[in-house]
Amino acid sequence: MSNHSFMKQPISDWMRGTGPDSDIVISSRIRIARNLNGLPFPLLATNQQSAESLSRLTKVTKSSDFSQLGHFQAIALTELTDMERQVLVEKHLISPNLANESRNGGLLLKDDESVSIMLNEEDHLRIQCLYPGLQIHEAWDEASRIDDVFEAHVDYAFDEKRGYLTSCPTNVGTGIRASVMMHLPALVLTQQINRILQAVAQVGLAVRGLYGEGSEATGNLFQVSNQITLGQSESEIIDNLYGVVKQIIEHEKSAREQLNQQSNTRLTDRICRSYGILKHAVVIDSKEASQRLSDIRLGADLEMLKDVTGTALNELLVMTQPGFLQHIYKKPMSADERDIYRAQLIRDTLGNKRDISQ
């Protein structure tokens, strides 16, 4: 049994279904990439050099100004099991890259899991703040405050012309990635999503799936984020993303209204079918589960389903992933076994046999 708090609760603070426009925006995230001056970046560092960067950064956590940021748990990646690492990825608290790092990788995790600070990932330091709903400016304020504390204690790799230096050239400059996770089922069902995504790309934003770069947009969940980090200020990057997201929200609301007016019977049938399947399925894979959960999330948002909450659906989004599923049932599973236990977990949850908030 794991003693780590992140294994005991499937839900992080950002999953609570609160915050502005939370019927469409699941979460807002800011990630800041920084490196230490005078040390090779993690991809080229020796074991001794990566240990040195870890030592310098963890020393900052002993300072009085860092303690004012809240309580953080320090976690060494080498002390975690493969399953624990996978759960951290599934909860969006670390990147897959850090999960695969076996050499001096570290994590500073705030108690409510709204802040996760990755050490010796692709960069020496990656500060991530995750807030529920559309709170990208609030997430930036928190990330900037943490960044200021570290910068007061360590010397960052910085160039007067290029800005902050990072392992990946696409992060050079401000070093920030701002992203918003959105649930856009109506735009998909009305076949408007491709037009919207093309328009988003033309204003310098990228659209990815639930787990970022290289992931598929399953369950009608899309991450919209900035592509440009050089030549724009932090406020320009965030304001641009915020403005585009607000437009996407209006398009999604309009598409939902269109579905309600023109295809209400078919929409109700789709939502009820998915609800029935999830309540009674004996075997279900992760892709179908994501799509069915998307349908009933839409039903809950449109008040067609009264006994399903956004928080419960956010929990299921994590709990039905391979790592957390195996943690819940306390045993390793094959893919076929996971499909069986995933169906059982969803049946129990929707049937109120399991209180997933405990």
Q: Is 209 annotated as a binding residue?
A: yes
**30 labelled ligand-binding:** yes
211 marked among binding-site residues: yes
Q: Check the annotation: does 208 bind a ligand.
A: yes
Tokens of 189: 């069902």
How far apart, in whole angstroms, are the C-alpha atoms of residue 316 and residue 327? 14
- Give the list of residues 6+ apart from residue 227 with CB closer than 8 angstroms, or none: 170, 204, 205, 206
29 annotated to a ligand binding site: yes
> 28: annotated binding-site residue?
yes
Per the structure block, which two tokens stand in for 254?
Answer: 């309009």
217 is in an annotated binding site: no
Q: Is 178 one of the annotated binding-site residues?
A: yes
Residue 212 annotated as binding?
yes
Is 116 known as a binding-site position?
no
- Check the annotation: does 180 bind a ligand: yes
179 is in an annotated binding site: yes
> Is 263 annotated in some ligand binding site?
no
Does 27 belong to an annotated binding site? yes
Residue 126 is labelled as binding a ligand: yes
Residue 31 is assigned to a ligand binding site: yes
Binding-site residues for ATP sit at: 27-31, 92, 126, 177-181, 208-213
Binding-site residues sit at: 27-31, 92, 126, 177-181, 208-213
